[in-house]
Amino acid sequence: MNGYIAMRGVNGSTMTALVINVIQLTTLVLFSCLAIYYRLNNPEHATGWAFSGGWDVVMPHSLTGVLIQSTIAILILVGFESCTAFAAETKDPKKNIPRAVILSLVIQGLFAYMFEYFAAGYMVSEKLAGTDASGAAVTGMAAAAASSAPIGDMAILVGNSVLGGIGFGLMVSIAVTVGLAILGTTLSCLNTAVRVSYAMAQDKEMPELLGAMHGRFATPHRAIWVLVVVSTLIAWVGVYSVVGLTGITLASNFGTFVLYG
């Protein structure tokens, strides 16, 4: 589906990505506000908060914690420069592309990382419960660390406490937006990669096949479908084997740190 959207042209791709981003950011802000409201009103009368207050959430506690959060921040902010690949298709690119780069950094950093991170940490207490790998009961941050979906667990807790017992529905809604976010991220990566491949093909640095333009949509359609096939094969390896998925993840993260580090 992403390949078809990308082939149809930049207008459709941009509108699709814009709609997905609006839905995703709205959901993040809504959940964050509910999490902060949960902490301030304390409907379950929690006493053992993971952090004593708002400043305690953002204050560095250890070098290890700083390094981990720095890593997460880098991964979240990856892709802020993707809009530069659309310079040839942008009106007044000298003015609009720099604005788009800065705006994407602000939105990703402020909403997708800082606000969400603060709200999630701010609401954690002993009321967040679960079990660790050994089956022992854990609460608070230990429960979040042991959970395969800590934000989902927090959504259930907040929804049941603040929204009258619709925690599962809130969790499912957030999960749907995560799926949409994956769709939007894949589309963004596809649009960026094919334009880089197209430019390299024009410079004779990649096969000429990748430099072909669609007669109707004026998109590098062959490069799009080649990348779709390659991406599908990589995804198949990841789904087929946990070891393969781990290898793909490590290779992807290593490439990210090499590129942005």
Task: Band the pLDDT of 79: cuts 50, 70, 90.
Answer: low
Question: For residue 147, which of 173, 178, 120 has the smallest C-alpha distance?
Answer: 120
Task: Band the pLDDT of 165: cuts 50, 70, 90.
Answer: confident
- Per-residue pLDDT at 158: 92
pLDDT digits (tens, 9 = 90+) for 175-226: 888 888 777 777 777 777 777 787 788 887 887 777 777 777 777 778 888 8
Who has greater pLDDT, 25 or 154? 154
d(CA 231, CA 221): 15
List of long-range contacts for 236-245, beta carbons under 8 Å, 24+ apart:
none
DSSP 87-145: GGGSSSHHHHHHHHHHHHHHHIIIIIIIIHHHHHHHH--TTSEEE-TTS-EEEHHHHHH
Residue 41 has pLDDT above 70, yes or no: yes
Least confident of 39-48, 118-127, 232-241: 232-241
Task: Band the pLDDT of 6: cuts 50, 70, 90.
Answer: low
- Per-residue pLDDT at 10: 65
Question: For residue 184, which of 29, 74, 19, 4 has the smallest C-alpha distance?
Answer: 19
Who has greater pLDDT, 146 or 184? 146
The overall average pLDDT reported for the chain is 81
Instruction: Provide the 3-class DSSP secondary structure of residue 249.
Output: helix
The whole model's pTM is what? 0.75
Residue with tokens 């800065």: 102
Instruction: Extract the tokens encoding 10.
Output: 């930049």
Residue 50 has pLDDT above 80, yes or no: yes
Task: Band the pLDDT of 7: cuts 50, 70, 90.
Answer: low
Asked if 116 and 26 count as a contact pair (C-beta separation under 8 A), the reply is: no
Asked if 32 and 119 count as a contact pair (C-beta separation under 8 A), the reply is: yes
- Per-residue pLDDT at 113: 74
When pLDDT is averaged across residues 9-34 and rounded to a whole number, the result is 80
d(CA 78, CA 212): 28
Amino acid, single-letter form, for residue 124: V
Instruction: Provide the 3-class DSSP secondary structure of residue 237.
Output: helix
Residue 1 has pLDDT above 80, yes or no: no
